Structure formats: C-alpha cells, structure tokens
C-alpha cells in the first residue's frame, strides 16, 4: 500500500508539473489555432445529404468519425479547451503565492549587495551637502508622483519607493477571466438549452423545440437518477421542452425602408407582441419584442429571429373607418376576405374582394400597380373593397398600407388599411443560459486584466545619499518588471535631474 501511494503521488506531481508549464500553454495555443481552422473550412452542422453533395461517401465517413462536421463540440476539441483552462488554473495556483509574497514584502532601503542584482544603477557626485542632495531627491521623486519612504543613519540617507505594485495582478485577472468564461460555458451547456418556436399570430404554446438538450437532464435520465424534462416526439420529430407557462403571439409586423415610391422590400425592423400567461391562463406580462430586444421570463429568453407566411391560411383584414369631419374618432372592423360586413356607424356594407401583398399607387393617375413578392411577403398590402348600400353596390375602391396618392372615397367617411392578421408566424429563438452571468463577469475581467497587465508595471526606485567629505554621493538604482525600455528612459532622466 505504501508503495502504491507513492506512485499516486508521483503521478499527481507529474501531472501538476505538466500543467504548470507555460511551454504547454504555448503548445496548446498553437494546436488550438491550427485545428480551429479546420472547422472554418468544413461547413459545420449541415444535414448529411448536404455533405454527400460536396464529398464522396468515403470522405463523409472519415470526416464524420473524426467529428469534423460538429468539430467544436467533439470531445477532443472540448478536451483541448479543458487542457488550456487546467493549464491556466495550475499556472495561476503555482505562481500566485509567489506574486503575493512579492507584493506583501516590505520595501527595504538600498544595500550594497542588492546593487548587483539591480538592472539600473548610477552613482552621482552631488556638489553640495547631504541636506541639499536629499531636498533635490525628494523634489525629483515628488515631481514624478512617487510616494517614498525615508530612513537614515549617520552619514547616510535613504529614499526608496515603488509604484504599480498591483499591475502584477493583471495577468491573474486575465487568466481567471478565461477560467470563468469556460466555467460559464459549461454551466450553460449543463443547465441551459437552445430552442426555437415558430408561433402563428393569435396562437399559444407551452413548449419550445430543442436544438440543444440540457446535458444535466440527459445525464440524469441516462443514469436513471431523474426524469428529463425533455418531451420526445413519438413520431421521431424534434424533442420539445415545456416552458412552465404559456406564450402567445398577439401580433407580428414588419416595417420596411421607404424609397421614393413607397416601401422598398427591405425590412428595417420586425417585431412581435408576445404575451405570457401562467398555466392557469392568467395574464402575466406583455412585451413587444424586436431584433436585438428580446423578452425574458423565468430565465427563458425569446429572441425575434425570423418570420414567414402560413401556407393555406387566410388571415383577417382589419380596416379603420372614420368620418371625414373627425379624423380622430372611428371604428375598427375585422373582416374575412371575400365576405360582407355591415358597418353600423356609416350604415354601409363592406366587402373586401381580396388582398394583394405588394402594391403602389401612381400619384398622378391614381392607378394601382401590383408587384410580385417572394413567399407572398406583405410589403405594402392593398385591399380591394366594394361598398354597398343594402344590396346595391355604390362604388369600388382600393386602400393601401402606404399610399402615395388618394383612394376613391366619395362619401363622408374614410376607410383606411389597418392590417392583415393571422396568416403569418413569428420565428423565435428561445434560450435559457444560467451560465451567461459567469461568462459576462469573465468578459468584464478579460477587458480589465490585460490593460492592467500591459499598461502598468511594478517599478522600484532607490536613492541613497552618502556623505563624502562635504559633498554627497548619490547612488540611484531601480528595477521594473515590465516595459524595461520605458523605465530605462525614465531612470536616466531621474539620474539627470538628480545630477543637476
């Protein structure tokens, strides 16, 4: 047993030594830089059919075995990242105590044997007494914002100081930040998930469809310890994740950039109004989300991501009707295309004959022109209307969402386009990531750490003044752990000023 314990210790020591080497860090960085290139050349996460189009079956098999189609999540790549993190952690644990010692160690006055080890030193004969020399030295140090200690004895006076002590921690802050980011990413993949939800206008869902299952659920379920919250689809479709609440798409809309002739086909913004209900159906909150401005509830965030038409579904046409005399008051009517509706406030029956997705009105002729759109995208819809008094048709007109001209409105009311509702879905990305805050703290530290490490330096400076037959012999010495050339310049200037 004694022997075996020794072996474990030896192995542990070897592993520790392996991970504490900075050579390993450089080697790992080189390997990571090189292998990362592969995943940018081979397209990631495509369906197998796509790969078979690009490569031969044999090549696909080889790439698949190596995991190159989802390279950044393969065990060997994650292991490389883990090695780098372990390397950082061990290096930090190994070196931090020494740094702490340096930081805590009290600064001592200059002694002759220290001089040998110091990279910068100079002796100056100062014409004047020791008092004058000390006054000069104290002035020079003060002018450079050094706060110094003074000690002395008969015939000798010491001024000594250090600056930028805490810049020694910059490197540890940087390394810690990377460890935090890695930890946060692991927390996210264990307890978070990525999902999507295509939600038609007016519809409700209490599940989202998973892209990434939480690893924790997967492991617990496979160990038989607990049930996964994930609901598998019996038809072999996409597994889903219950939200624990309902989400409803109340409304979806797209804004387009406008050109000289009305809206261009280029979306400027799209937004969904989402409502959240608890499982008893009580409304909890409502938010209008847009790209870059998501909704978060119970740690689950809904991002506006895409949209599309619902094939074969007819929406409802919304029209606003108001008297010409009172532009602010009016009535909103919802009608199915092709059906009639009696509007009591104007005593007329309205029948929208149909809706076109993209139309313009020529402002000079008043003529409406129609354009083709991909997927029937509702860029600037036009509704053709028939207006009846009883069963007698009075007139036909066309209302547009954005109208460059004037629609025919012979009577004392105006009908305007209000919307087309229920024939589109909003595409939502859904994510839960409890590790993101750890990652963000890592991000902040990673912004701060290198700045402290690179732009600060731990500088030490000693001035010793010795009496030499009425004159003063000034010995000035210093060291800097970083930016030696910069310190060298500063040092020679200080020496120059002392000699004046």
Question: Is 148 or 256 the residue whose CB approaches other proteins more closely?
Answer: 256
**Which candidate, 293, 248, 287, places its Cα nearest to that of 269?**
293
**Which candidate, 141, 172, 143, 173, places its Cα nearest to that of 158?**
141
Write out the H or E segment, with its range, that includes residue 195: strand 193-200
Question: Is 130 or 453 the residue whose CB approaches other proteins more closely?
Answer: 453
Distance in Å, CB of 87 to other proteins, minimum: 11
Question: Is 293 or 496 the residue whose CB approaches other proteins more closely?
Answer: 293
Question: Is 395 or 440 the residue whose CB approaches other proteins more closely?
Answer: 440
Tokens of 268: 């400027």
Residue 454 and residue 277: Cα distance in Å, rounded?
Answer: 51
Question: Is 120 or 126 the residue whose CB approaches other proteins more closely?
Answer: 120
Distance in Å, CB of 303 to other proteins, minimum: 5
Question: Is 297 or 388 the residue whose CB approaches other proteins more closely?
Answer: 297
List Cβ neighbours of 153 (8 Å cut-off, separation of 6 or more). Answer: none
Q: Is 199 exposed, middle or buried (0-12, 13-18, 19+ CB in 10 A)?
A: buried
List Cβ neighbours of 40 (8 Å cut-off, separation of 6 or more). Answer: none
Tokens of 92: 């930090």
Residue 330 and residue 402: Cα distance in Å, rounded?
Answer: 19
Distance in Å, CB of 126 to other proteins, minimum: 30
Question: Is 37 or 223 the residue whose CB approaches other proteins more closely?
Answer: 37
For 207-249, the DSSP string reads EEEEEE--HHHHHHHHHTSS--SPBPPTTS---EEEEEEEEEE
Distance in Å, CB of 11 to other proteins, minimum: 25
Maximum pairwise Cα distance, the chain: 126
- Beta strand 120-126 with 471-480 is antiparallel
Distance in Å, CB of 291 to other proteins, minimum: 4
Distance in Å, CB of 342 to other proteins, minimum: 40
Q: Give φ, ψ of 301 to 5 degrees.
A: -115, 135
Residue 88 and residue 84: Cα distance in Å, rounded?
Answer: 6
**Which candidate, 137, 422, 70, places its Cα nearest to that of 253?**
422
Distance in Å, CB of 452 to other proteins, minimum: 10
Write out the H or E segment, with its range, that includes residue 192: none
Distance in Å, CB of 215 to other proteins, minimum: 16
Distance in Å, CB of 459 to other proteins, minimum: 16
CA dihedral in degrees (397, 401, 405, 409; nearest 10)? 30
Distance in Å, CB of 432 to other proteins, minimum: 9
Count, residues in the chain: 500
**Which candidate, 258, 254, 257, 260, places its Cα nearest to that of 362?**
260
Distance in Å, CB of 7 to other proteins, minimum: 31
- Cβ proximity of 358 and 377 under 8 Å: yes
Question: Is 197 or 385 the residue whose CB approaches other proteins more closely?
Answer: 197
Question: Is 25 or 409 the residue whose CB approaches other proteins more closely?
Answer: 25
Residue 395 and residue 415: Cα distance in Å, rounded?
Answer: 13
Positions in the binding site for other proteins (CB under 8 A) = 22-23, 25-26, 29-30, 32-34, 36-37, 39-41, 43-44, 54-55, 72, 185, 194, 257-258, 266-270, 290-294, 301, 303, 305, 429-431, 433, 436, 439-440, 443, 446-447, 450-451, 454-455, 483, 485
Question: Is 92 or 301 the residue whose CB approaches other proteins more closely?
Answer: 301
Question: Is 199 or 335 the residue whose CB approaches other proteins more closely?
Answer: 199
- Cβ proximity of 27 and 34 under 8 Å: no
């Amino acid at each position: 047993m004694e022997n075996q314990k020794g072996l474990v210790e030896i192995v542990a020591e070897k592993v520790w030594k392996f991970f504490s080497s900075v050579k390993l860090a450089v080697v790992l960085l080189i390997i990571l830089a090189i292998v990362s290139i592969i995943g940018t050349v081979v397209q990631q996460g495509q369906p197998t059919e796509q790969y078979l189009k690009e490569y031969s079956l044999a090549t696909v098999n080889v790439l698949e075995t190596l995991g190159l189609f989802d390279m950044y999540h393969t065990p060997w790549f994650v292991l490389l990242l883990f090695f780098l993190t372990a390397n950082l952690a061990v290096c930090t644990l190994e070196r931090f105590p020494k740094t702490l010692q340096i930081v805590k160690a009290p600064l001592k006055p200059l002694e002759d044997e220290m001089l040998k080890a110091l990279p910068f030193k100079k002796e100056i004969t100062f014409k004047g007494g020791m008092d004058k020399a000390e006054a000069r030295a104290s002035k020079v140090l003060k002018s450079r914002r050094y706060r110094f200690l003074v000690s002395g004895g008969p015939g000798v006076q010491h001024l000594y100081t250090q600056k930028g002590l805490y810049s020694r921690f910059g490197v540890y802050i940087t390394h810690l930040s990377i460890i935090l980011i890695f930890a946060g990413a692991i927390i996210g993949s264990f307890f978070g998930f990525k999902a999507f939800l295509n939600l038609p206008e007016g519809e409700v869902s209490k599940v989202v469809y998973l892209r990434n299952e939480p690893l924790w659920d997967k492991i617990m379920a496979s160990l038989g310890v607990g049930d996964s919250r994930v609901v598998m689809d019996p038809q072999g479709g996409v597994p889903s994740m219950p939200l624990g609440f309902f989400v409803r798409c109340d409304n979806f809309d797209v804004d387009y950039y406008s050109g000289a002739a009305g809206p261009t086909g280029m979306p400027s913004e799209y937004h969904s109004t989402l409502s959240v209900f608890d499982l008893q159906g009580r409304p909890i909150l409502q938010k209008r989300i847009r790209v870059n401005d998501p909704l978060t509830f119970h740690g689950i965030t809904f991002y506006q991501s895409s949209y599309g038409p619902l094939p074969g579904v007819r929406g409802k046409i919304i029209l606003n009707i108001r008297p010409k005399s009172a532009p602010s008051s009016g009535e909103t009517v919802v009608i199915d295309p092709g059906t009639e509706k009696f509007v009591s406030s104007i005593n007329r029956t309205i029948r929208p004959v149909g809706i076109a997705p993209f139309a313009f009105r020529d402002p000079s002729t008043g003529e409406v022109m129609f354009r083709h759109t991909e997927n029937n995208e509702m860029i600037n819809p036009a509704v053709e209307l028939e207006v009846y008094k009883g069963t007698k048709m009075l007139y036909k007109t066309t209302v547009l969402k954005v109208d460059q001209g004037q629609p025919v409105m012979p009577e004392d009311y105006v009908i305007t386009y209000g919307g087309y509702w229920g024939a589109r879905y909003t595409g939502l990305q859904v994510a839960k990531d409890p590790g993101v805050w750890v990652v963000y703290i890592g991000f902040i530290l990673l912004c701060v750490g290198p700045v402290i490490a690179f732009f600060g330096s731990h500088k030490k400076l000693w001035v010793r003044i010795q009496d030499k037959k009425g004159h003063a012999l000034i010995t000035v010495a210093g060291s800097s752990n970083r930016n030696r050339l910069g310190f060298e310049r500063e040092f020679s200037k200080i020496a120059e000023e002392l000699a004046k």
